[in-house]
Structure formats: structure tokens, C-alpha cells
Amino acid sequence: MIDLREAVTRAHHEEWARVVAALTRRFGDLDIAEEAAAEAFTTAVERWPADGVPPNPGAWLTTTANRRAIDRIRRENKRDDKHREAQMAYHDDPPEPVGAIDDDRLRLIFTCCHPALAMEARVALTLRMVGGLTVPEIARAFLVAESAMGQRITRAKAKIKAARIPYRVPSAEDLPARVSSVLAVLFLVFNEGYLATGPGTDPLRHDLTAEAIRLTRLIRTLLPDDGEVAGLLALMLLTEARRTARVSAAGELVPLDEQDRGAWDTALIAEGHRLVRERLAAAVAGVAPGSYQILAAINAVHTSARDMRDTDWSQILALYDQLVRLDPSPIIALNRAIAVAELDGPQVALAAVDRLEHRLAGYHPYHATRADLLRRLGRSQQSRAAYDKAIELAGNTAETAYLTRRRDQLR
Amino acid sequence: MQYLVSVIDDKSNPGSTDRQPAISAFNERLIAEGYWVFAGGLADTAAATVIDNRGEQAVFSDGPFVESKEYLAGVWVWEAPDLDAALKLAAEASKVCDRKIEVRPFL
């Protein structure tokens, strides 16, 4: 029984996107593809225990889903004769060559992450159509009511159909912008798992970080030459490697300088470092790195150090300087200031942080960073006020617990 | 596939008024490349009249956009193979008109 459940789970992970993608191309309709794929997996759960797992689960699922889709179209055609001609045109398409399968999954990903869709719709649609998560699972992940999440996905599919968002891989000239739209979706899913925003959920959501990594690996397989895809995957792996060390037994977030580095996942770190080295070689050859590659390099420096003092802060600051030139966002400037504090002391860093006030007043890490710098400068009263503000704005339970302890330790 | 392409202006921050030659040139290109179906600029929102004859007698009033900050300044109808093609043209149209552009598919 356990083997069977494993077989279904594995088939779901490996084949869901393939089945949905192939059906979407054949029938030109995300709705039909999604429903038929879901039915095929339900049928597998019912039939495989008695019939055994088929030798090629992917082919079995695709065939079953195809039949379900055709059944549905026939049912609908009885209701709507005019529709039939349009749908029959798809049936007459010759079967695509086998090599096109990977392109199908890419088509699916680019369609779900199309820039004409709102960011939250892209996230939901990608997790459903590419990731194969159920609507209730996605709703839980983002603390949204199931009906609202269902509607979000339905509306996005309707927009794709009504506005005719194309089902294809973008042309070479559009590719970088469109890949970055896909990566932004995956990074958002990862970050929600890395530091969940809501107080009503676990502080770290391994299900979300794992899903984001799985999908990024898939895109890496499909676009092996894209440096930013490699960069984002490395960034995720090097972050995920520290997961178990990031929350204490008491449920408190553990900052980098207090983490037990022996608890870091060495296999993930090794894989992340390999990717960073690969991108460094490309940079040496003259390919300018994008933001994810630089962020990955910063994390590679952290994960190469035995402890906080051993960290090569001048290297980290140089990388942040490079990042600021690409992305002048105040959040990058804030993180850069943390490196400045290690090199030039908290006074210099505080001056840099204070300059960001008008842009980051509602962002809790701004107040948490100020609180820490003020504490190191012995300005307890101001530090306490900054901790209060950070606690008020932070939603993550483990982070709130950490900030509260730090505040209460002030003298 | 046809798209209604609306030019949106903003009363508090209007686009520049010297765009007509550039728009004409852009229209020529739309025609030459087969996208052009229809185009027209609109008079000021103050010139609009709304008629509501759902009740017992027709009631006349000003248009709903007289008070609003953003309003429709003109429209195109384009024939394009898909949204990507329409959006690419719309990005150019926004530069050419110096205004925001909404792309909306016909049913």
C-alpha cells in the first residue's frame, strides 16, 4: 500500500505538469486540461491498487486524461453544436513529436506567469497548473478562503481565454523579461515559505519552499543556459540549507550570527556553491550577472564562513554595491547597511539606515535593523522604541518572539 | 481576434498635446501591417450626454466621466493574432500618445 501511495505521489510530482501541458496544447483550453488531469489522477488512485502501477505511468495518465477531455468536449458539444466545429479542429491535429513535451511545460509556465495577469493570480495559477497543488492547498498556503482562491484561479483562466494570452514560449527578444516574470512568481512562493507573513501559520513553511525549489529545478532543466534561473535556484538552495537552524526549539527565529552552523544542510550548500561557481565562471567570461546571481553569491559567502567573524564582509559589501547598481531598491540598501555595520561599525550603518526612513517606515525589517544597531550603540531607549515598532509590524510568530526577547533584554 | 484599445488621459496630469503627427504616422503603420480596424479621438467629456430611457420617460444627464480624474480620450480597434501582439503595439501606442492604454478583447 505504501509503495502504491509513493507511486501515485511520484507520478503526480513528475507527470502532473506534463499531462496538463500536453492537454492544453491539444485542446487549447486550460480548464479542460486541468479537469481532465485531475480526473486521470483520481482514476489512478482507484485503479492502480487492483491493476498494479502501469509500466509507464506518464503515458497511462496522459491517455486517460485525453479520454476524459474528449468525453467532456463531446458532452458539451451536444449542448452546443456551433462549438463542435471549433473543438473538432483540435482533434484533427496530428500528434506532436515526442521531443515537444518539454516545450509544452515551458509554454504552460510562461502562460501561467504572463505579465498581463496580476501577481497573485500568476502565483495561484502556477501552483495549480504547473505545481499540481489543489485549490484548498493553495488557499491554505496564502491564508485565503478556498472559494476566493478558486475564483482567483477561475478568473485568471477566463482572462487567458478571453484575451487570448498565447500558449507559447516567448521569442528570444522577449525571453529575458518573461523569464524574470516567472522567477518573480517562484521567488514569492519561496519567500512566503522562508518567512511566512501571517500570525496564524507555521513560521517556516517547508511545503512552500520545497515546491518553489522543485519548480525552479524544473525550469532549470528546461532553460539550462539561463544564468538568472541558476542564480535563483542557488539562492533558494543556500537559504533552504539553513532552515533547521533558523528556528529554536522554543519557536524563536535565530539570527545568522547565533545559528548552529553544524545544523546546516551540507548537501544543499554544496549544490548551491556549485551553481554559484558556474555563474562566476560565466561572469569571468564576460556575462554580466543579474540580481538573483548576486544574491546567491552573497549567500555563498555566508555559507562558506565558519562563523559570523570568519565571514568575508568586504566581499559581501562589494556584492551589495554591485546589486545596488542593478536594483536601487531601499530594501537592498537596508541589507547593504547590515554589511556596513560589520565593516565600519554600527554608527556608520545607522546613518545609512536612517536615510531610508521615508521609504521603509512600514517595513518591519527596517525597524528591526535600526533596533539592533541602536542596541549595539548602547542607545537602549531608542532601541526599545524601534523594537516596539518592529514587533507591531512583524507578522511572523518566530520573528515576533525573537524581537520581543531582544527588546526585553535591553537594560 | 479584435481588441478595443482605449487611450486613457488624466485631467490632473494630462499627456502632451503635440502628439497628432506621431499618432498619424503610427496609424499609417497599423494600416500597412494589417492591424488597423478603426480609430477615433473623442471630444472632451463635458461634451458627452447620457440618456436613460429605462423608466417612463427619457432622462438626460452629463456623462459619468465629467467628474472623474481619468477618462477615455480616444479608441482604436485592432485586429491582432493574440494578446502578446496587441500588448506590443499598445506599448508603442502609449509612447506615441504619451498616455496610458487599456487593451480589452472583444467577445
Cβ neighbours around A80 below 10 Å, total = 10
Say whether A163 and B107 touch across the interface (CB within 8 A). no
What is the pairing mode between strands B70-79 and B2-10?
antiparallel
Structural contact between residues A218 and A209, judged by C-beta atoms closer than 8 angstroms:
no
Q: What is the pLDDT of residues B82-107, one digit of tens each?
A: 999 999 999 999 999 999 999 999 99
Closest chain B CA to residue A163: B105
pLDDT value at position A371? 97
Whether B107 contacts chain A with CB within 8 A: yes
User: Which residues in chain A are closer than 8 Å to B104, comparing Cβ atoms?
Assistant: 163
Residue A366 within a domain: yes
Please check whether residue B78 is in contact with residue B36, taking contact to mean a CB–CB distance below 8 angstroms: yes
In a domain? residue A156: no
- Cell numbers representing residue A158 in the block: 477566463
Q: How many whole angstroms separate alpha carbon A152 and alpha carbon A118?
A: 10
Nearest to A268 by CA among A296, A247, A294: A296
Residue B58 identity (one-letter amino acid): A
Chain A's closest residue to B82, CA to CA, is A164
Give me the long-range contacts of A68-71 (CB less than 8 A, separation at least 24): A68/A35, A68/A36, A68/A39, A68/A40, A68/A43, A69/A23, A69/A26, A69/A27, A69/A32, A69/A33, A69/A35, A69/A36
For residue A43, give the CATH number of its domain.
1.10.1740
SS3 B16: coil
Q: How far apart are the CA of A152 and the nearest CA of chain B, in angstroms? A: 19
* B87 in contact with chain A, both atoms CB, cutoff 8 A: yes
Cβ contacts below 8 Å, chain A against chain B, sum to 23
Q: Which residues of B touch A163 (CB under 8 A)?
A: 83, 103-105
Q: Which residues of A touch B81 (CB under 8 A)?
A: 164, 166
pLDDT of res. B67 = 86
Our CA-based measurement puts residue A18 at a distance from the nearest CA of chain B, in whole angstroms, of 24
Average pLDDT, chain B: 94
* The predicted structure's pLDDT at residue A110: 94
Answer whether B25 touches A (CB < 8 Å).
no
Q: List, in order of start, the domains of chain B with CATH numbers.
A: 2-105 (3.30.70.1060)
- What range defines the domain where residue A381 resides? 353-411
CB contact under 8 A, B83 and A170: no
Question: What's the distance, CA A97 to chain centroid?
Answer: 31
State the CB neighbour count (10 A cutoff) for residue B62. 13
**Pairwise CB contact (< 8 Å): A163 & B105:** yes
Q: Check B84 against A165: CB less than 8 A apart.
A: yes
Domain termination residue (choose one: A52, A70, A94): A94
Give one word for A52, left, alpha or beta, with left for phi > 0 and alpha for psi -120 to 50.
Answer: left
Sheet holding B70-79, edge to edge: B36-41, B70-79, B2-10, B100-105
Backbone angles phi, psi at A29, to 5 degrees: -155, 115
Residue A298: inside a domain, yes or no?
A: no
Whether B33 and chain A come into contact, CB under 8 Å, resolves to: no
Report CA-CA distances (Å) from B89 to A160, A259, B27, B30, B93.
18, 52, 11, 9, 6
Distance CA A34, CA A70 (A): 13
> What is the number of domains present in chain A?
2
- Which of A79, A94, A109 is the last residue before a domain boundary? A94
The reply to whether A215 falls in a domain is no
* ipTM at complex level: 0.88
Question: Which residues of chain B neighbour A158 with C-beta distances below 8 Å?
Answer: none
Q: What sign results for the dihedral spanned by CA atoms A304, A182, A144, A20?
A: negative
**CA–CA separation, A187 and B90 (whole Å):** 29
Residue B33 burial (10 A CB sphere; 0-12, 13-18, 19+) = exposed
Cell 538552495, residue located: A237
Residue A191 Cα, gap to closest chain B Cα (Å)? 29
β-pairing, B100-105 with B2-10? antiparallel
Mark yes or no for CB contact A164/B107 under 8 Å: no
Phi-psi region of A143 (alpha: psi -120 to 50; beta: other; left: phi over 0): left
pLDDT value for B74:
95
Per-residue pLDDT of chain A (411 residues; tens, 9 = 90+): 567 888 888 888 889 999 999 999 999 999 999 999 999 999 999 999 889 899 999 999 999 999 999 999 998 887 766 555 544 444 444 445 445 556 788 899 999 999 999 999 999 999 999 988 889 888 887 878 999 999 999 999 999 999 999 998 888 888 888 999 999 999 989 988 888 776 667 778 888 899 899 999 999 998 999 999 999 999 999 999 999 999 998 889 999 989 999 999 999 999 999 999 999 999 999 999 999 999 999 999 999 998 888 899 999 999 999 999 998 899 999 999 999 999 999 999 999 999 999 999 999 999 999 999 999 999 999 999 999 999 999 888 889 999 999 999 997
Is A78 domain-assigned?
A: yes
- State the smallest CA–CA distance between residue A161 and chain B in angstroms: 10
For B2, the 3-state DSSP assignment is strand
Whether residue B83 lies within 8 A of chain A, CB to CB, comes out as: yes
Residue B63: predicted pLDDT: 83
Q: What is the pLDDT of residue A196?
A: 75
The C-alpha cell that represents B22 in the structure block: 506621431
The pLDDT score that the predictor gives to residue A92 is 43
Residues of A in contact with B83 (CB under 8 A): 114, 116, 163-166
Listed residues A71, A94, A117: the one ending a domain: A94
From chain B, the residues in CB contact with A166 under 8 A are: 81-84
Exposure string (b/e) for A123-155, b if CB count within 10 Å is 16 or more? bbbbbbbbbbbebebbbbbbebeeeebbebbee
